[in-house]
Amino acid sequence: MSGDGYYTKQCNAALERLTGGQKALITHSCTAALEMAAMLCDLGPGDEVIMPSFTFVSTANAVVLRGATPVFVDVDGETLNICPKRTAAAVTDKTKAIFAVHYAGFPADMDALMEIANRHNLLLVEDAAQALGSTYKERPAGSLAHMAAFSFHETKNIVSGEGGALVVNNPNLIERAEIIREKGTDRSRFMRGQVDKYTWVDMGSSYLPGELIASYLFAQLEMEPMIRQRRMSLFHRYAEAFAPLQQTGCVQLPIIPKNTKGNGHMFFLMMPDRSMRDNFIDQMKQAEITTPFHYVPLHSAPAGHRFGRTAGPMSETDRISDCLVRLPMYFDLGNEVEEVIDHVNAFFKVTA
Ligand SMILES: Cc1ncc(COP(=O)(O)O)c(C=O)c1O
Protein backbone atom coordinates (compact mmCIF):
# COMPACT_ATOMS: atom_id res chain seq x y z
CA MET A 1 0.00 0.00 0.00
CA SER A 2 2.90 2.42 0.54
CA GLY A 3 4.81 3.89 -2.40
CA ASP A 4 7.21 2.53 -5.00
CA GLY A 5 5.69 -0.93 -5.35
CA TYR A 6 4.59 -2.85 -8.46
CA TYR A 7 2.08 -0.26 -9.76
CA THR A 8 4.42 2.69 -9.25
CA LYS A 9 7.04 0.92 -11.37
CA GLN A 10 4.42 0.19 -14.04
CA CYS A 11 3.35 3.86 -14.08
CA ASN A 12 6.95 5.08 -14.32
CA ALA A 13 7.64 2.72 -17.22
CA ALA A 14 4.40 3.69 -19.00
CA LEU A 15 5.29 7.37 -18.65
CA GLU A 16 8.78 6.79 -20.02
CA ARG A 17 7.16 5.11 -23.04
CA LEU A 18 4.55 7.85 -23.51
CA THR A 19 6.91 10.80 -23.09
CA GLY A 20 10.17 9.38 -24.41
CA GLY A 21 11.68 10.82 -21.21
CA GLN A 22 14.76 9.30 -19.56
CA LYS A 23 13.39 8.71 -16.07
CA ALA A 24 9.82 9.15 -14.85
CA LEU A 25 8.95 9.30 -11.16
CA ILE A 26 5.32 9.57 -10.17
CA THR A 27 4.49 12.03 -7.42
CA HIS A 28 1.38 12.97 -5.46
CA SER A 29 0.80 16.06 -7.64
CA CYS A 30 2.29 18.21 -10.36
CA THR A 31 2.85 20.78 -7.60
CA ALA A 32 5.16 18.25 -5.91
CA ALA A 33 6.95 17.52 -9.20
CA LEU A 34 7.54 21.27 -9.72
CA GLU A 35 8.91 21.57 -6.17
CA MET A 36 11.30 18.72 -6.92
CA ALA A 37 12.34 20.43 -10.16
CA ALA A 38 13.04 23.66 -8.25
CA MET A 39 15.27 21.74 -5.79
CA LEU A 40 17.06 20.04 -8.68
CA CYS A 41 17.72 23.49 -10.18
CA ASP A 42 19.48 24.26 -6.87
CA LEU A 43 17.51 27.46 -6.46
CA GLY A 44 18.14 29.72 -3.50
CA PRO A 45 17.74 33.34 -2.38
CA GLY A 46 18.92 35.76 -5.05
CA ASP A 47 18.22 33.35 -7.93
CA GLU A 48 15.63 34.11 -10.60
CA VAL A 49 13.42 31.85 -12.70
CA ILE A 50 11.71 33.14 -15.84
CA MET A 51 8.15 31.94 -16.35
CA PRO A 52 4.85 33.12 -17.84
CA SER A 53 2.49 35.09 -15.62
CA PHE A 54 -0.34 33.29 -17.41
CA THR A 55 -0.09 30.04 -15.43
CA PHE A 56 -1.27 28.23 -12.33
CA VAL A 57 0.15 29.23 -8.94
CA SER A 58 2.19 26.02 -8.54
CA THR A 59 4.67 27.06 -11.26
CA ALA A 60 5.64 30.09 -9.17
CA ASN A 61 5.22 28.59 -5.67
CA ALA A 62 7.87 25.97 -6.40
CA VAL A 63 10.37 28.79 -6.97
CA VAL A 64 9.19 30.92 -4.04
CA LEU A 65 9.47 27.96 -1.64
CA ARG A 66 13.21 27.86 -2.39
CA GLY A 67 13.55 31.57 -1.58
CA ALA A 68 14.11 32.43 -5.26
CA THR A 69 12.24 34.99 -7.37
CA PRO A 70 9.79 34.23 -10.20
CA VAL A 71 10.30 36.69 -13.06
CA PHE A 72 7.09 36.96 -15.06
CA VAL A 73 7.18 37.57 -18.80
CA ASP A 74 4.37 37.99 -21.28
CA VAL A 75 2.93 35.19 -23.40
CA ASP A 76 2.65 35.13 -27.17
CA GLY A 77 -0.80 36.47 -28.10
CA GLU A 78 -1.48 33.57 -30.47
CA THR A 79 -0.06 30.49 -28.76
CA LEU A 80 -0.72 31.71 -25.18
CA ASN A 81 2.68 30.23 -24.30
CA ILE A 82 5.76 32.00 -22.94
CA CYS A 83 7.21 34.37 -25.53
CA PRO A 84 10.82 33.38 -26.41
CA LYS A 85 11.77 36.98 -27.32
CA ARG A 86 10.57 38.31 -23.97
CA THR A 87 12.28 35.39 -22.24
CA ALA A 88 15.62 36.20 -23.88
CA ALA A 89 15.24 39.86 -22.89
CA ALA A 90 14.51 38.91 -19.26
CA VAL A 91 17.73 36.93 -18.66
CA THR A 92 20.06 38.49 -16.07
CA ASP A 93 23.14 37.17 -14.29
CA LYS A 94 20.77 35.95 -11.55
CA THR A 95 18.70 33.75 -13.88
CA LYS A 96 19.05 30.04 -13.12
CA ALA A 97 16.17 28.45 -15.02
CA ILE A 98 13.20 28.87 -17.34
CA PHE A 99 9.89 27.21 -16.46
CA ALA A 100 7.79 26.96 -19.64
CA VAL A 101 4.08 26.07 -19.47
CA HIS A 102 2.34 24.16 -22.27
CA TYR A 103 -0.97 26.00 -22.09
CA ALA A 104 -4.11 23.99 -22.96
CA GLY A 105 -1.76 21.11 -23.80
CA PHE A 106 -0.09 22.88 -26.74
CA PRO A 107 3.69 22.85 -26.31
CA ALA A 108 5.62 26.10 -26.02
CA ASP A 109 8.32 26.90 -28.59
CA MET A 110 10.84 24.62 -26.93
CA ASP A 111 13.64 24.84 -29.52
CA ALA A 112 13.74 28.62 -29.16
CA LEU A 113 13.69 28.31 -25.35
CA MET A 114 16.37 25.60 -25.32
CA GLU A 115 18.58 27.81 -27.45
CA ILE A 116 18.26 30.59 -24.83
CA ALA A 117 18.86 28.09 -22.00
CA ASN A 118 22.00 26.71 -23.68
CA ARG A 119 23.32 30.19 -24.46
CA HIS A 120 23.11 31.24 -20.80
CA ASN A 121 23.73 27.86 -19.16
CA LEU A 122 20.22 27.65 -17.66
CA LEU A 123 18.01 24.68 -16.84
CA LEU A 124 14.77 24.42 -18.81
CA VAL A 125 11.71 22.85 -17.18
CA GLU A 126 8.43 21.97 -18.90
CA ASP A 127 5.35 22.61 -16.79
CA ALA A 128 3.53 19.95 -18.80
CA ALA A 129 0.67 19.67 -16.28
CA GLN A 130 -1.85 19.79 -19.14
CA ALA A 131 0.21 18.25 -21.93
CA LEU A 132 0.53 14.48 -21.63
CA GLY A 133 0.28 13.06 -25.16
CA SER A 134 0.99 16.34 -26.97
CA THR A 135 3.92 16.72 -29.36
CA TYR A 136 6.30 19.43 -30.59
CA LYS A 137 8.01 18.72 -33.92
CA GLU A 138 6.90 15.07 -33.50
CA ARG A 139 8.65 14.88 -30.09
CA PRO A 140 6.43 14.22 -27.05
CA ALA A 141 5.92 16.70 -24.24
CA GLY A 142 8.11 15.50 -21.40
CA SER A 143 11.13 14.94 -23.63
CA LEU A 144 11.62 18.58 -24.62
CA ALA A 145 13.63 19.99 -21.70
CA HIS A 146 15.92 18.99 -18.83
CA MET A 147 12.87 18.14 -16.70
CA ALA A 148 9.09 18.04 -17.07
CA ALA A 149 6.23 18.03 -14.56
CA PHE A 150 2.85 16.40 -15.28
CA SER A 151 -0.49 16.50 -13.47
CA PHE A 152 -3.03 13.72 -13.00
CA HIS A 153 -5.44 15.90 -11.04
CA GLU A 154 -9.06 15.06 -11.80
CA THR A 155 -9.31 18.03 -14.19
CA LYS A 156 -6.62 16.59 -16.50
CA ASN A 157 -6.82 14.01 -19.35
CA ILE A 158 -5.32 11.20 -17.28
CA VAL A 159 -6.47 11.26 -13.69
CA SER A 160 -5.85 9.66 -10.31
CA GLY A 161 -7.77 12.17 -8.17
CA GLU A 162 -4.60 13.96 -7.19
CA GLY A 163 -1.38 12.87 -8.89
CA GLY A 164 1.62 13.91 -10.90
CA ALA A 165 5.02 12.93 -12.22
CA LEU A 166 8.47 14.37 -12.71
CA VAL A 167 10.30 13.31 -15.87
CA VAL A 168 14.06 13.85 -15.71
CA ASN A 169 16.01 13.94 -18.96
CA ASN A 170 19.37 15.13 -17.69
CA PRO A 171 21.18 11.93 -16.52
CA ASN A 172 23.13 13.95 -13.93
CA LEU A 173 19.91 14.84 -12.11
CA ILE A 174 18.25 11.41 -11.96
CA GLU A 175 19.82 10.01 -8.80
CA ARG A 176 19.26 13.24 -6.87
CA ALA A 177 15.63 13.30 -8.04
CA GLU A 178 15.09 9.84 -6.52
CA ILE A 179 16.69 11.02 -3.26
CA ILE A 180 14.64 14.24 -3.01
CA ARG A 181 11.44 12.28 -3.65
CA GLU A 182 12.31 9.78 -0.87
CA LYS A 183 12.68 12.27 2.00
CA GLY A 184 16.33 13.00 1.20
CA THR A 185 17.36 9.34 1.65
CA ASP A 186 19.06 6.89 -0.69
CA ARG A 187 16.23 4.38 -0.20
CA SER A 188 15.91 3.82 -3.97
CA ARG A 189 19.53 2.67 -4.09
CA PHE A 190 18.85 0.40 -1.09
CA MET A 191 15.77 -1.11 -2.78
CA ARG A 192 17.91 -1.91 -5.85
CA GLY A 193 20.45 -3.66 -3.59
CA GLN A 194 23.15 -1.06 -4.32
CA VAL A 195 23.70 -0.22 -0.61
CA ASP A 196 23.09 -2.40 2.46
CA LYS A 197 21.23 0.28 4.45
CA TYR A 198 19.69 3.59 3.59
CA THR A 199 20.36 6.92 5.21
CA TRP A 200 19.78 10.69 5.02
CA VAL A 201 22.00 12.05 2.24
CA ASP A 202 20.35 15.28 1.00
CA MET A 203 17.35 17.55 1.50
CA GLY A 204 14.03 16.14 0.38
CA SER A 205 10.44 15.45 1.24
CA SER A 206 7.77 12.79 0.77
CA TYR A 207 6.62 13.20 -2.81
CA LEU A 208 5.57 9.66 -3.69
CA PRO A 209 1.96 8.48 -3.90
CA GLY A 210 0.75 5.22 -2.39
CA GLU A 211 0.12 2.09 -4.44
CA LEU A 212 -3.68 2.49 -4.45
CA ILE A 213 -3.33 5.75 -6.38
CA ALA A 214 -0.65 4.23 -8.60
CA SER A 215 -2.86 1.26 -9.51
CA TYR A 216 -5.67 3.62 -10.55
CA LEU A 217 -3.23 5.78 -12.50
CA PHE A 218 -1.74 2.79 -14.32
CA ALA A 219 -5.16 1.79 -15.65
CA GLN A 220 -5.61 5.35 -16.93
CA LEU A 221 -2.17 5.48 -18.54
CA GLU A 222 -2.89 2.27 -20.42
CA MET A 223 -5.93 4.01 -21.95
CA GLU A 224 -4.12 7.29 -22.80
CA PRO A 225 -4.30 7.00 -26.61
CA MET A 226 -8.03 6.27 -26.53
CA ILE A 227 -8.74 9.05 -24.00
CA ARG A 228 -6.76 11.53 -26.09
CA GLN A 229 -8.52 10.50 -29.30
CA ARG A 230 -11.95 10.98 -27.70
CA ARG A 231 -11.03 14.42 -26.39
CA MET A 232 -9.51 15.42 -29.74
CA SER A 233 -12.76 14.54 -31.50
CA LEU A 234 -14.61 16.86 -29.07
CA PHE A 235 -11.99 19.56 -29.75
CA HIS A 236 -12.48 19.20 -33.52
CA ARG A 237 -16.28 19.27 -33.16
CA TYR A 238 -16.12 22.58 -31.26
CA ALA A 239 -13.63 24.01 -33.79
CA GLU A 240 -15.84 23.05 -36.72
CA ALA A 241 -19.03 24.30 -35.06
CA PHE A 242 -17.58 27.71 -34.18
CA ALA A 243 -15.68 28.40 -37.40
CA PRO A 244 -18.57 30.59 -38.68
CA LEU A 245 -18.47 32.65 -35.43
CA GLN A 246 -14.78 33.26 -36.01
CA GLN A 247 -15.41 34.27 -39.62
CA THR A 248 -17.87 36.94 -38.51
CA GLY A 249 -15.37 38.21 -35.92
CA CYS A 250 -17.44 37.25 -32.85
CA VAL A 251 -14.73 35.04 -31.32
CA GLN A 252 -11.19 33.85 -31.83
CA LEU A 253 -10.73 30.06 -31.72
CA PRO A 254 -7.54 28.42 -30.38
CA ILE A 255 -4.61 28.96 -32.74
CA ILE A 256 -2.62 25.74 -32.81
CA PRO A 257 1.08 26.59 -32.50
CA LYS A 258 3.17 25.65 -35.57
CA ASN A 259 4.67 22.12 -35.48
CA THR A 260 2.62 21.01 -32.47
CA LYS A 261 -0.14 18.49 -31.87
CA GLY A 262 -2.43 18.93 -28.90
CA ASN A 263 -4.07 16.36 -26.67
CA GLY A 264 -7.62 17.71 -26.49
CA HIS A 265 -7.07 18.92 -22.95
CA MET A 266 -9.06 22.12 -23.30
CA PHE A 267 -11.17 24.12 -25.74
CA PHE A 268 -11.51 27.85 -25.23
CA LEU A 269 -12.99 30.87 -26.97
CA MET A 270 -11.42 34.30 -26.99
CA MET A 271 -14.09 36.99 -26.67
CA PRO A 272 -13.64 40.58 -27.94
CA ASP A 273 -13.60 42.04 -24.41
CA ARG A 274 -14.11 41.32 -20.73
CA SER A 275 -17.69 42.51 -20.39
CA MET A 276 -18.83 40.25 -23.22
CA ARG A 277 -16.86 37.34 -21.73
CA ASP A 278 -18.40 37.86 -18.28
CA ASN A 279 -21.86 38.24 -19.81
CA PHE A 280 -21.30 34.95 -21.67
CA ILE A 281 -20.30 33.14 -18.47
CA ASP A 282 -23.49 34.44 -16.75
CA GLN A 283 -25.72 33.38 -19.64
CA MET A 284 -24.21 29.92 -19.80
CA LYS A 285 -24.59 29.56 -16.03
CA GLN A 286 -28.31 30.16 -16.43
CA ALA A 287 -28.35 27.20 -18.83
CA GLU A 288 -26.43 25.23 -16.16
CA ILE A 289 -23.27 25.09 -18.30
CA THR A 290 -20.04 25.88 -16.48
CA THR A 291 -17.62 27.94 -18.59
CA PRO A 292 -14.74 29.15 -16.41
CA PHE A 293 -12.20 31.82 -17.30
CA HIS A 294 -8.41 31.35 -16.93
CA TYR A 295 -6.10 32.56 -15.14
CA VAL A 296 -5.82 35.56 -12.84
CA PRO A 297 -2.30 36.54 -14.03
CA LEU A 298 0.26 35.83 -11.33
CA HIS A 299 1.93 39.24 -11.70
CA SER A 300 -1.33 40.90 -10.64
CA ALA A 301 -2.02 38.56 -7.68
CA PRO A 302 -1.11 39.68 -4.13
CA ALA A 303 1.56 36.98 -3.80
CA GLY A 304 2.88 37.84 -7.25
CA HIS A 305 3.56 41.40 -6.06
CA ARG A 306 5.13 40.12 -2.86
CA PHE A 307 7.37 37.37 -4.22
CA GLY A 308 7.90 38.05 -7.93
CA ARG A 309 8.59 40.76 -10.44
CA THR A 310 7.73 41.39 -14.08
CA ALA A 311 10.13 41.81 -16.99
CA GLY A 312 8.65 43.74 -19.89
CA PRO A 313 5.03 44.56 -20.69
CA MET A 314 2.21 42.18 -19.74
CA SER A 315 -0.37 43.40 -22.25
CA GLU A 316 -1.06 40.02 -23.92
CA THR A 317 -1.36 38.26 -20.58
CA ASP A 318 -3.84 40.87 -19.33
CA ARG A 319 -5.88 40.77 -22.54
CA ILE A 320 -6.08 36.98 -22.60
CA SER A 321 -7.03 36.80 -18.94
CA ASP A 322 -9.88 39.25 -19.66
CA CYS A 323 -11.17 37.56 -22.81
CA LEU A 324 -10.64 33.80 -22.51
CA VAL A 325 -13.43 31.41 -21.58
CA ARG A 326 -13.23 27.61 -21.42
CA LEU A 327 -15.96 25.31 -22.70
CA PRO A 328 -16.90 21.96 -21.11
CA MET A 329 -14.37 19.30 -22.08
CA TYR A 330 -14.25 15.90 -20.43
CA PHE A 331 -14.02 12.28 -21.53
CA ASP A 332 -17.71 11.39 -21.29
CA LEU A 333 -19.11 14.69 -22.55
CA GLY A 334 -20.73 12.76 -25.42
CA ASN A 335 -23.71 14.28 -27.23
CA GLU A 336 -24.03 17.04 -24.66
CA VAL A 337 -21.38 18.77 -26.74
CA GLU A 338 -24.19 19.63 -29.19
CA GLU A 339 -26.20 21.25 -26.40
CA VAL A 340 -23.19 23.41 -25.48
CA ILE A 341 -22.75 24.40 -29.14
CA ASP A 342 -26.44 25.37 -29.41
CA HIS A 343 -26.25 27.54 -26.31
CA VAL A 344 -23.06 29.28 -27.50
CA ASN A 345 -24.62 29.99 -30.91
CA ALA A 346 -27.81 31.24 -29.22
CA PHE A 347 -25.76 33.69 -27.13
CA PHE A 348 -24.18 35.24 -30.22
CA LYS A 349 -27.51 35.45 -32.07
CA VAL A 350 -28.96 37.50 -29.22
CA THR A 351 -25.91 39.75 -28.78
CA ALA A 352 -25.36 40.25 -32.58
C1 LIG B 1 0.06 24.74 -15.60
C2 LIG B 1 -0.19 24.01 -14.32
N3 LIG B 1 0.84 23.74 -13.48
C4 LIG B 1 0.66 23.08 -12.34
C5 LIG B 1 -0.57 22.62 -11.95
C6 LIG B 1 -0.72 21.91 -10.63
O7 LIG B 1 -1.12 20.56 -10.79
P8 LIG B 1 -1.53 19.68 -9.52
O9 LIG B 1 -2.95 20.03 -9.18
O10 LIG B 1 -1.40 18.26 -10.01
O11 LIG B 1 -0.58 19.97 -8.43
C12 LIG B 1 -1.68 22.86 -12.77
C13 LIG B 1 -3.01 22.41 -12.37
O14 LIG B 1 -4.03 22.74 -12.90
C15 LIG B 1 -1.49 23.56 -13.99
O16 LIG B 1 -2.51 23.83 -14.83
Q: What is the pLDDT of residues 4-18, one digit of tens each?
A: 999 999 999 999 999
Q: For residues 219 and 229, state if they share a domain.
A: no
Q: For residues 89 and 213, state if they share a domain.
A: yes
Q: Give the position, in ligand 1's atom list, of the atom nearest the Cα of 29.
A: 10
pLDDT of residue 351: 67
Q: For residues 172 and 244, state if they share a domain.
A: no
Q: How many domains does the structure of the chain reveal? A: 2
Q: For residues 146 and 33, state if they share a domain.
A: yes
Query: Which CATH number covers residue 254?
Result: 3.90.1150.10
Instruction: Tell me whether residue 1 is in a domain.
Output: no
Kindly state the average pLDDT of the residues 339-349: 96
| Ligand 1 site-directed mutation target among 53, 126, 153, 160, most atoms within 8 Å of CB | 153
Q: For residues 83 and 118, state if they share a domain.
A: yes
pLDDT of residue 347: 96
Q: How far is it, in rounded angstroms, from Cα 22 to Cα 171?
A: 8
Q: For residues 18 and 61, state if they share a domain.
A: yes
State which of 223, 239, 266 marks the end of a domain. Answer: 223
Q: For residues 61 and 138, state if they share a domain.
A: yes
Distances (CA, A) of 73 to 7, 16, 164, 264, 275: 39, 31, 26, 26, 25
Q: Give the position, in ligand 1's atom list, of the atom nearest the Cα of 156.
A: 14
Q: Which residue has the higher pLDDT, 272 or 191?
A: 272
Give the predicted TM-score (pTM) of the model.
Answer: 0.97
The pLDDT tens digits for 58-106 are 999 999 999 999 999 999 999 999 999 999 999 999 999 999 999 999 9
Q: For residues 174 and 261, state if they share a domain.
A: no
pLDDT classification of 203: cutoffs 50, 70, 90: very high
Instruction: Tell me whether residue 147 is in a domain.
Output: yes
The pLDDT tens digits for 233-279 are 999 999 999 999 999 999 999 999 999 999 999 999 999 999 999 99
Q: Is the pLDDT of residue 350 over 80?
A: no
The pLDDT tens digits for 122-173 are 999 999 999 999 999 999 999 999 999 999 999 999 999 999 999 999 999 9
State which of 223, 246, 267 marks the end of a domain. Answer: 223
CA of 331 to the centre of ligand 1 (A): 19
Q: For residues 115 and 208, state if they share a domain.
A: yes
CA of 166 to the centre of ligand 1 (A): 12
Q: For residues 271 and 333, state if they share a domain.
A: yes
In a 10 Å sphere around its CB, with 0-12 CB exposed, 13-18 middle and 19+ buried, how is residue 175 labelled? middle
CA of 109 to the centre of ligand 1 (A): 20
Which residues does ligand 1 sit against, CB inside 6 Å?
Answer: 29-31, 55-56, 58-59, 101, 127, 129-130, 151, 153, 164
CA of 42 to the centre of ligand 1 (A): 21
State which of 161, 195, 223 marks the end of a domain. Answer: 223
Amino acid 195 reads V
Q: Is the pLDDT of residue 213 over 70?
A: yes
Instruction: Tell me whether residue 198 is in a domain.
Output: yes
Average pLDDT, the chain: 97
Q: How far is it, in rounded angstroms, from Cα 238 to Cα 44?
A: 45
Q: For residues 61 and 160, state if they share a domain.
A: yes
pLDDT of residue 147: 98
The pairing of strands 164-168 and 23-27 is antiparallel
211 within 8 A of 3, measured Cβ to Cβ? yes
Which residues in 4-30 are b (16+ Cβ under 10 Å) and which e?
beebbebbbebbbebbbbbbbbbbbbb
The pairing of strands 309-310 and 69-73 is parallel
Q: Is the pLDDT of residue 311 over 80?
A: yes
Q: Give the position, in ligand 1's atom list, of the atom nearest the Cα of 153.
A: 10
| Ligand 1 site-directed mutation target among 56, 130, 293, most atoms within 8 Å of CB | 56
Q: How far is it, in rounded angstroms, from Cα 29 to Cα 173?
A: 20
Owning domain of residue 288: 225-351
Instruction: Tell me whether residue 146 is in a domain.
Output: yes
Q: Which of 342, 215, 207 is nearest to 284 (CA)?
A: 342
Q: Give the position, in ligand 1's atom list, of the atom nearest the Cα of 162.
A: 10
Which residues in 248-279 are b (16+ Cβ under 10 Å) and which e?
eebbbbbeebeebbbbbbbbbbbbeeeebbee
pLDDT of residue 352: 60
Kindly state the average pLDDT of the residues 20-41: 98
Q: For residues 160 and 282, state if they share a domain.
A: no
Kindly state the average pLDDT of the residues 343-352: 86
Query: Which CATH number covers residue 20?
Result: 3.40.640.10
pLDDT of residue 196: 92
| Ligand 1 site-directed mutation target among 26, 31, 155, most atoms within 8 Å of CB | 31
The pLDDT tens digits for 146-155 are 999 999 999 9
Q: Is the pLDDT of residue 20 over 90?
A: yes
Q: Give the position, in ligand 1's atom list, of the atom nearest the Cα of 34.
A: 4
Q: Is the pLDDT of residue 296 over 70?
A: yes
